[in-house]
Amino acid sequence: MAVKITWLIWITILVSCELYVEADITYISARIPLQGQRWPPGSPWPLPLQWRHSPLLLTINPSNFPMVTDLESCDVIDKALHRYRGLLFQNPNVTEDKNLPVLPKLRVHISSRVCGLYPKQDTDEQYELDIHSENGVTVTAREVWGALRGLETFSQLVYTSNNVYRVNDTRIRDWPRFNYRGLLVDTARHYIRVPVILTVLEAMSYNKLNVFHWHIVDDQSFPYVSKKFPELSNKGAYSPHHVYTQADVAKVIEFARLRGIRVIPEFDTPGHTQSWGKAYPELLTPCWVDNQPFRDLYGLEGHARSENMDPTKNQTFEFMRDFFSEIIEVFKDEYIDLGMDEAHYYCWQSSPNISQFMADRGYEPDEYYKLEEYYDTKVINIVRSLGAKVFIYQDPIEHGAKVDKNTIVRVWKGKGQWQDYAYTITDLGYNVTITSCYYLNYISYGEDWRKYYLCDPQQFNGTQKQKDRILGGEASIWTEYVDETNLLSRLWPRGSAVAERLWSDADVNDTDSAAFRLDEHRCRMRRRGIPAQPVLPGNCGDLDLKPVADVIMTTPCKTSSAKTSTTSVCVWLIGFLMYAVF
């Protein structure tokens, strides 16, 4: 309620004083005026749970603004303070407003007194943010991960106008609606270089997403360099240069850790394994035609020479144990994603070896879901015995397989009918994340971010207990038609819509009004070097006039209008009156 009341007062001020905002969207057609309400400049994304801000304006002197913490020797906070100083004060020509009270400092307080090693599923990201003319800026959190979110919010509240810094007297209490807020990036269909992955992680932190789901290998290529099985990448990668060494992986994980982002790798089996078979063909089940295995790459009915791992061999599971023991050591998260989607049955169905194996185990000839369950259960148990927890896709559960209830299931099918899958799988007692309605690789003309924004992971006909099993959601970008030339612009700000849906309250669902904040956030990301695509026609101020190469981490998007200077006194005077109300 505090957000809505203060927001309405601000709208009144904006209209009466004609305050110019940094980012400015306009209509598609003069016959179709924009709907919704404009937000004041410096409005954060995602929208905080409790945001009480007065019109009382303050300013910052960039040459005298200490940013400190009372948690000693914590690299997460120390590096965050350094990073956010750079984000706040990108332009040396912007300074304090001589007519406004100057904020004396920023202080970060961590009540747990613990510097986190790696964020986890139950990480506490709650924070409090207070901005006051006398006390300065205070960010308080129980864990360092919450402090990171508070620093991001503060960096968004600060805006520039006529080459001066401004921020409102503000009080925020905020925490995410869902603990799991992910982004999947596929690096197998097209190889994405490490610096670009780091840029993706940077943008994720600007949007408070906290899980990087790294779909690192697939049929097309195996770019991960295994020390135990180097032939996987030697023969499975596109080239010796299209690979991720373990040093590369460590760099990604550390970069993500410092931003409160988990890195969960996905190594998908029993299907999607063509690249594994280039080095170890004996792991895969060959498809059979005319009583013999396929000899060509492609066989009958559009199937490949081999498609699934071979569950009849102990060698397969011994390999998996050795391989995943390395993966768990290299990737630091408590979870591993085992995929297990789209295990097409044709190769199993055509193989006499598989038929004999199923008969020996008492399976009926058409009970291939039991074979899938057999394979999945063995691999899940292997990974659990090595000390990791497991994600899988919905397919095995959908086929009737029974796996450990501690397994987290990703619902990815259904598009408009994903709610049925969410109901069924949560009813079976599994915890779930939703990705069905957040496929960013699908594009359409117009404001398609709105459909992502309106897809609520808990919006299905289930009991409250079922809805409580929804841990969050995940935007996904599959790279069949995406590479470094269009990855970032396709991700943002469409991924920002998913981020707010997963962080903010369920009642925050007015896309017309959100468009104004999203546009400001899009300009904000552009100022920070993220080539986010437009929301609607409009402009990002002077940023639009700079060469593209000069935009990255340079001059902030700022107003070129004289209106701000003529309205600052208006806002300052009205601020006292409005502040008294609160």
Q: Could you give the residue numbers annotated as active site?
A: 342
Do 383 and 329 contact (CB within 8 A), yes or no?
Answer: no
Helix ranges (H only) for 331-456 are: 346-350, 352-360, 368-385, 395-398, 418-427, 449-453
SS (H, E, C) 466-534: HHHCEEEEEEEECCCCCCCCCHHHHHCCHHHHHHHHHHCCCCCCCHHHHHHHHHHHHHHHHHCCCCCCC
DSSP bridge pairs for 266 = 215, 337
Which pair of tokens denotes residue 494?
């469409």
Backbone angles phi, psi at 386, to 5 degrees: -85, -5
Residue 254's alpha-carbon distances to 200, 263, 332, 580, in angstroms, are: 14, 9, 10, 46
Which pair of tokens denotes residue 447?
């404001």
Element (H, E) at 174: strand 164-174
Give me the residue label for tokens 């000839």: 365
By C-alpha distance, which of 213, 87, 162, 29 is closest to 528? 87
Do 323 and 226 contact (CB within 8 A), yes or no?
Answer: yes
Q: Per the omega criterion (within 30 degrees of 0), is the bond before 270 cis?
A: yes
Do 130 and 168 contact (CB within 8 A), yes or no?
Answer: no
By C-alpha distance, which of 576, 569, 521, 527 is closest to 25? 521
Do 4 and 34 contact (CB within 8 A), yes or no?
Answer: no
Q: Identity (one letter) of the amino acid at 446?
A: G
Q: What is the dihedral of CA 330, 335, 336, 337, to 10 degrees?
A: -150
